[in-house]
Structure 1
Amino acid sequence: MANTKGKVTGFLLVMHVIFVVLFGLFVDYNDVASPQGKASEGGSDAAVDGKDPSLSFYYPMFQDIHVMIFVGFGFLMAFLKLHGFGSIGFNFLLGCFLIEWATLVNGWFKIIETGESKIFVDVVELIKVDFALAAVMISFGAVLGKVSPIQVLVMALFEIVIYNLSLWIGESVMEVTDVGGSIYIHAFGAYFGLAIARVLYKTEQTTSPKEGSVYHSDLFSMVGTVFLWVFWPSFNAGLLTGDARHRAVINTIFSLAACTIVTFAVSAVTSKKNKIDMVHVQNATLAGGVAVGSSANLMIHPFGAMLAGTTAGIISVVGFKYIQPALLRVFKIHDTCGVNNLHGMPGILGAMISAVLCSIATPEIYKNSFDEIFVRSPTMQGGYQIAGLVATIAIAITGGTLTGFLMKLPIWDRLLREELYDDNAFWEMPDTSDYGSISPSDDKEYQKIEGVDDDEAGSSFSDIKKRKSSGGSSLNQQTE
């Protein structure tokens, strides 16, 4: 049994105590949040630098990103028919755990780079913390339903450190522009998670009848999709100011809209029955936000953003339909949520788009923004965009592989076959006695309702209750 009594409780409480002590030693308010802080001279809505961030300017974006992390990602992963509690609940736990840990690790890397004496927090730093959370949530999607809670927490501990290492190399050493995280967040999180999935691969992961969705679980997942879709412009524009922020919002909206239209079209045409696949709608419709991330602040123009979204939608649907099964068959990479299709390949596309746009940039096009965006010649910057992508993926795969072997140690409560994709091992399950006996641990795809014959087993709960309340002595009594 993977649920060793007291292990998760002890791990969480010990780590939390350590985090509290470290916060006491290292973390303090930034000047703007301290009593001696001064309000921005430009007024409450003015854009200001990171040393004195305006709460009213950044908090709406932070709020949107926060909703994406806790509602969007959580519900998006709720498609598994017997793993809804784990998808939403462990996403919630993981997010809170990482708010503390990522604040510390992000801050330590900043101390190393700037020489500051402490970790000074403000709303801008909280946005950066949420970006780190997003990378881990993406990786979590690759191993969803196949790891125990303590394995997920161990993964998060190490991934945040490796994420910051990758980010430092990309931003500070190579100076790659990636405002929406196509490279640093999406590509990194996807290939870190896929590397772990490969290390943890077992044949029973692919043969379990519990892996899959039902009608209502897909509806819950669509709630996550809609939240992510609506708030994605804030994710890509969150740390920007001025005309770059405005451009990022516009570009992301057009890219997402184009991606959604193409997803529906391509999903139907790739179906033998000309039907739309809900998996494509839940995931591929979001690929446009990923693809335009690296170039959200660049002069891609609305039609260019639409082309990016169109390409991303095609790539993502093709990925779900053909590439994901091939990765499983050839490389034994089992990707529960299809993160390669939503985050990995669209992230690579985003890096390539940014490389092209950087290569053709001129001062005449960007005017006063040119020196703010580009630190070297446009041609060289284009090359650095690709180099940054390669470095990020290499770090992600290496770090994910090492983390996967660590997670594979028996001490971390590895799941048994019957515990895969199943909430029953870690959650108190609700009483379903009013509707018969439904066991989330049953290996059958649908557990027959107690006392219902074969003809009635497919009936809905509401129909059965109506028959029961109409005077029948048992659930299998037939109505006239």
Structure 2
Amino acid sequence: MGACQSFREMCDREKNTNVHLSLPAVCIVWQTAMIILFGVFMRYDHESDAHWVEHRKHSNLTDIENDFYFRYPSFQDVHVMIFVGFGFLMTFLKRYSFGGVGFNFLIAAFGLQWALLMQGWFHWLDADGKIRIGIENLINADFCVAGCLIAYGALLGKVSPVQLMVLTLFGITLFAVEEFIIISVIHARDAGGSMVIHTFGGYYGLSVSWMLYRPNLHQSSRLQGSVYHSDVFAMIGTLFLWMFWPSFNSAICDHGDGQHRAAINTYLCLASTVLTTVAISSLFQKHGKLDMVHIQNSTLAGGVAAGTAAEFMLMPYGCLIVGFCCGIISTLGYIFLTPFMEKHLKIQDTCGIHNLHAMPGVVGGIVGAITAASASIEVYGHEGLVNTFDFMDKFKDMVPTTQGGHQAAGLCVALCFGIGGGIIVGAILRLPIWGDPADDNCFDDETYWEVPEEEEMSPTFICRGFVLFSYQTNDAVIAFCCSRLYCIQSPLDGSTAQFWDYSHILM
């Protein structure tokens, strides 16, 4: 107990947010390590190597049969989700948009390099000790990065960029190990990553947040909220994610019916979730008004839950049921569970990843287990059953009921790695060497970013009893009154001010 108390006291000493040396050192050293490791291990696969021409002729193929032309459209969509969708979804905080987008960029750029190596060592290492890289590797690396970006959502505004790099280093490593166990050892199917990505990433972030609990975070409550334009920017991220999620869940499915079915299943789950989210949000808000937090996040929960069973015969009506249930669970989570977790479980979840990723990921794992266990030759056909669940080689004698048990085991592995790994990494990140902000300095870009000075807003006019807030340009004053925008021409020359209504302009 004495050692634990000493550790807490050491971790809770006065914060120093100066990362002038630590951040450049981490970035340069780790990028140098990536260059060296890529030089030693990484090579092009046969479809991206210059010898493709010879291979094509020898195998009687054409260029259109190169996997690039099948996978690259999906890769583009997934890549946009990682850098634009996740990035803009985190811009809802009024003073942390630079951190939301910029640190998302940093995590993804480093994470995809480390993921190519980690996943390569587990899945694609040749007999000559080289990792052969192609378009599918890039998609899987983006999937790996997604788990760390999900975890970042729970810590948004409360950690330093150095801590985020450490979080990503360990997160990618844990992801690669749990993915190998779930996919290759247990033989669970998880095309869209409900278990491997969302369940792991969600509980990894929540466990780290629990370890980094800040009892005095209320000192930054003035910044822990949104303003009108920040919610609009976050909604841009939501729409990108919502539109491209069918590509995310179908990106690495088998060509043909599996990929086709995964896109349809995800599409229907997402559509059902939107209506349910709107209904629950309106039902539990005063006067039936909608909460933008719910619309930004819970409308995506169906895509998360569709991941594991994406290529299964879930059936169109089954997709709508899954989306319906996730809309309810996720929205109620934001209303009731998030406050409960912060007050009683000491888990401060900035973005509500428990409601968007963790719980829907568990739902997706359960749906996948049930759907796999109930599969039959009548529904799939013999060849379809073998192809969908990969009943080949050492798993050729497996039956659907056994596969359902393996799916459930995969979910347990994801939970164990997420929670256990998060606790260990959280303990490391508590050390007072990472430059994290003090409790009264969270959710503010100025801690780690050069922020342009804003025009000071001051009350300068009274119009029909309401204060006009304004700032001066070269020849006019731009004024705001009752949420409407006005231009007051030459108000300082002694003449009568002339008002033009510019409220139709989108600011």
Same fold per TM (> 0.5)?
yes
Q: Find the counterpart in structure 1 of residue 11 from structure 2.
A: none
**Corresponding position: 1:63 with 2:76:** yes
- More moved, 171-180 vs 358-367: 358-367
The alpha carbon displacement at 1:151 in A equals 0.4
Q: Find the counterpart in structure 1 of residue 7 from structure 2.
A: none
Provide the identity percentage: 40
The alpha carbon displacement at 1:4 in A equals 2.8
Among residues 202, 208, 219, which one is paired with 2:232 in the alignment? Answer: 219
Check the 8 A contact 1:44/1:57 in 2, yes or no.
Answer: no
**Corresponding position: 1:9 with 2:21:** no
Q: Find the counterpart in structure 2 of residue 36 from structure 1.
A: 51
Q: Find the counterpart in structure 2 of residue 463 from structure 1.
A: 479
Cα distance in structure 1, aligned partners of 2:479 and 2:430: 46
Among residues 223, 239, 245, which one is paired with 1:232 in the alignment? Answer: 245
Q: Find the counterpart in structure 2 of residue 398 from structure 1.
A: 420
**Corresponding position: 1:472 with 2:472:** no
Among residues 296, 308, 321, which one is paired with 1:294 in the alignment? Answer: 308
Among residues 386, 389, 403, which one is paired with 1:371 in the alignment? Answer: 386
Q: Find the counterpart in structure 1 of residue 299 from structure 2.
A: 285
Cα distance in structure 2, aligned partners of 1:203 and 1:453: 42
CA displacement, residues 199-226 of structure 1 (integer Å, 9 cap, x when unaligned) = 0010232442110100000000000000
Cα distance in structure 1, aligned partners of 2:209 and 2:439: 16
Counterpart residue identity of residue 400, structure 2: P
**Corresponding position: 1:73 with 2:86:** yes
Q: Report the CA distance shift for 1:458/1:22 in structure 2 as closer, same or farther (over 3 A).
A: farther
Cα distance in structure 1, aligned partners of 2:426 and 2:403: 34
Q: Find the counterpart in structure 2 of residue 323 from structure 1.
A: 337
Cα distance in structure 1, aligned partners of 2:243 and 2:468: 36
CA displacement, residues 164-219 of structure 1 (integer Å, 9 cap, x when unaligned) = 11111101111111110000000000000000000001023244211010000000
Tell me the secondary structure at the aligned position of residue 348 of structure 2: coil
Q: Find the counterpart in structure 1 of residue 440 from structure 2.
A: 418
Counterpart residue identity of residue 377, structure 1: V
The alpha carbon displacement at 1:472 in A equals 3.3
Between Structure 1 and Structure 2, the one with more strand by share is: 2
Counterpart residue identity of residue 4, structure 1: V
Cα distance in structure 2, aligned partners of 1:343 and 1:456: 44
- More moved, 341-350 vs 387-396: 387-396
**Corresponding position: 1:184 with 2:196:** yes
Cα distance in structure 2, aligned partners of 1:170 and 1:121: 22
The alpha carbon displacement at 1:469 in A equals 4.3
1:47-62 correspondence to structure 2 within 5 Å: 54-62=67-75
CA displacement, residues 438-460 of structure 1 (integer Å, 9 cap, x when unaligned) = xxxxxxxxxxx246589866747
Check the 8 A contact 2:111/2:145 in 1, yes or no.
Answer: yes
Counterpart residue identity of residue 425, structure 1: T
Check the 8 A contact 2:87/2:105 in 1, yes or no.
Answer: yes
The alpha carbon displacement at 1:323 in A equals 1.0
- More moved, 464-473 vs 34-43: 464-473
- More moved, 203-212 vs 28-37: 203-212
Counterpart residue identity of residue 30, structure 2: M
Cα distance in structure 1, aligned partners of 2:270 and 2:470: 36
CA displacement, residues 66-119 of structure 1 (integer Å, 9 cap, x when unaligned) = 00000000000000100000100111111111121111111122257x655211
Tell me the secondary structure at the aligned position of residue 43 of structure 2: strand
Q: Report the CA distance shift for 1:413/1:348 in structure 2 as closer, same or farther (over 3 A).
A: same
RMSD after superposition: 2.2
**Corresponding position: 1:98 with 2:114:** no
Runs of at least 5 residues in structure 2 that lack an aligned partner in the other structure: 1-15, 392-397, 472-477, 500-507
Check the 8 A contact 2:190/2:309 in 1, yes or no.
Answer: yes
Check the 8 A contact 2:461/2:468 in 1, yes or no.
Answer: no
**Corresponding position: 1:152 with 2:164:** yes
Tell me the secondary structure at the aligned position of residue 412 of structure 1: coil
Among residues 205, 212, 216, which one is paired with 1:204 in the alignment? Answer: 216
Check the 8 A contact 1:111/1:117 in 2, yes or no.
Answer: no
Counterpart residue identity of residue 120, structure 2: G
Cα distance in structure 2, aligned partners of 1:177 and 1:116: 29
Check the 8 A contact 2:468/2:479 in 1, yes or no.
Answer: no
**Corresponding position: 1:193 with 2:205:** yes
Cα distance in structure 2, aligned partners of 1:207 and 1:391: 37
Cα distance in structure 2, aligned partners of 1:161 and 1:60: 27
Tell me the secondary structure at the aligned position of residue 411 of structure 1: coil
TM-score, normalisation: structure 1:
0.91
Q: Find the counterpart in structure 2 of residue 259 from structure 1.
A: 273
Q: Report the CA distance shift for 1:457/1:95 in structure 2 as closer, same or farther (over 3 A).
A: farther
The alpha carbon displacement at 1:42 in A equals 5.8
The alpha carbon displacement at 1:473 in A equals 7.4
Check the 8 A contact 2:489/2:498 in 1, yes or no.
Answer: no
Tell me the secondary structure at the aligned position of residue 288 of structure 2: coil
Check the 8 A contact 2:265/2:306 in 1, yes or no.
Answer: yes
- More moved, 168-177 vs 178-187: 168-177
Corresponding residue pairs, total: 457
Cα distance in structure 1, aligned partners of 2:128 and 2:265: 36
CA displacement, residues 28-81 of structure 1 (integer Å, 9 cap, x when unaligned) = 1111111111348564554xxxxxx51111000000000000000000000010
TM-score, normalisation: structure 2:
0.86
Q: Report the CA distance shift for 1:266/1:43 in structure 2 as closer, same or farther (over 3 A).
A: farther
Cα distance in structure 2, aligned partners of 1:42 and 1:235: 28
CA displacement, residues 246-280 of structure 1 (integer Å, 9 cap, x when unaligned) = 00011111110011111111110011221111000
Tell me the secondary structure at the aligned position of residue 129 of structure 2: coil
Cα distance in structure 1, aligned partners of 2:404 and 2:427: 35
The alpha carbon displacement at 1:6 in A equals 2.1
